[in-house]
Amino acid sequence: MSMNHGLSTDTLRRLVPAAFATQPHAAVSDRYGFVPTSAVIDGLRDEGWFPVRAQQTRVRDYTRRGVARHLIRFRQDPARQVQVGDSIAELVLTNSHDRSSAYQLDLGLFRLICSNGMVTPVGATGGIRVRHGKNVVDEILVGSIELVEAVPNIAARVDAFQSTPMSRGESELFAESALELRYGEDWKMSSPVRPADVVHPRRHEDAQDRTLWGTFNRAQENLLKGGLRGQSRSGRLVRTRPVKSVTEDVRLNRALWKLAERFAELKGEALAA
């Protein structure tokens, strides 16, 4: 991957073939305005945003493999990148051509220390949502400008997370909520790992971070990347699976960010009391 121009078109075709679909799924209506994701990629490239990571949801239905939901992360040239704490701002584009989703553009943060990508909700809807139609590219480009303008607000939240101290008990309480987000209300029965595992650091630098930001990042990385050693209900030793679904990746990222915001609010109220 070129530092300045991101993933090549050939690499994108291999990682997210649905982005280069030539027509939508046969089941979509005649009102569906088909514009391939590749056209949006080209539009963002022209504005200085280059694709750096891409993934596509695996589907069993072979008729949907060429149109399934996919996610592409974009980053600006190093000279133009916006720094947010120990992270840099990205745009996160999701789409499908099988009726499962509209175009969605979110603001993302890429944490340099661990190559960890997260999605940060912006506004009440969590990002910019664009229905399929002939004006998709223009609307996405306008949306990208709106999201970049929101970076200072995201930076302020990161500052708040970094200035919020967390005890071990509070970090594990955060992890309990994170496990519920990942596995559901019955996480104690379905999760092979304990809360302490979720916020266990993977590297020395993170072990020294006893703030909400550190807790959030450890939980986000451990839950999304998987690989944690645990034990199944039958007592068998297992490793947690990484999140590979585009839908689940975005959903869990947003939910964890909102969880961190709620913890920051509660901690602030407790300190002010």
Look up the pTM and report it. 0.85
Tell me the average pLDDT across 139-164. Answer: 91
End-to-end CA distance of the chain: 51
Q: Using a pLDDT cut of 70, give the percent of the chain over it.
A: 90
- Residue closest to 76 by CA, chosen among 65, 85, 88, 84: 88
Domain boundaries, the chain: 9-160, 163-272
pLDDT computed for residue 32 by the predictor: 66
What is the structure's pLDDT at 115?
64
Arithmetic mean of pLDDT, 6-25: 92
* Pair 93, 69: CB distance under 8 Å: no
CA angle 103, 119, 105 (to 5 degrees): 20
Distance separating alpha carbons of residues 23 and 25, to the nearest angstrom: 7
Q: Is residue 92 a contact partner of residue 118, using CB atoms and an 8 Å limit? A: no
CA-wise closest residue to 200 among 183, 180, 223: 223
In this predicted structure, what is the pLDDT of residue 1?
Answer: 44
What are 123's two structure tokens?
């506004």
Q: Which residues contact 98 (CB under 8 A, 6 or more apart)?
A: 24, 25, 27, 28, 64, 67, 68, 69
Report the 10 Å Cβ neighbour count for 97: 26
> CA 212, 217, 220, 221 torsion: positive or negative?
negative
- Looking at residue 180, its pLDDT comes to 97
Amino acid identity for residue 178 in this structure: A
Q: Which residues of 178-199 are buried (b: 16+ CB within 10 A; e: fewer)?
A: bbbbbbeeebeeebbbbbebbb
pLDDT for 132 equals: 80
pLDDT grade, residue 2 (50/70/90)?
Answer: very low
Strands 116-120 and 128-130: unpaired
Q: How many CA atoms lie within 13 A of 32 on its CB side?
A: 19
In 3D, which of 118, 115, 108, 136 has the Cα closest to residue 33? 136
Assign 29 a pLDDT band (cuts: 50, 70, 90): low
Average pLDDT over residues 124-130: 74
Residue 188 predicted with pLDDT over 50: yes
**Residue 198: both structure tokens together:** 């979720």
pLDDT of residue 42: 95
Asked whether the beta carbons of 137 and 100 are under 8 A apart, the reply is: no
Which of 198, 207, 208 shows the shortest CA–CA distance to 171? 198
pLDDT tens digits, residue range 95-110? Answer: 998 877 789 999 998 8
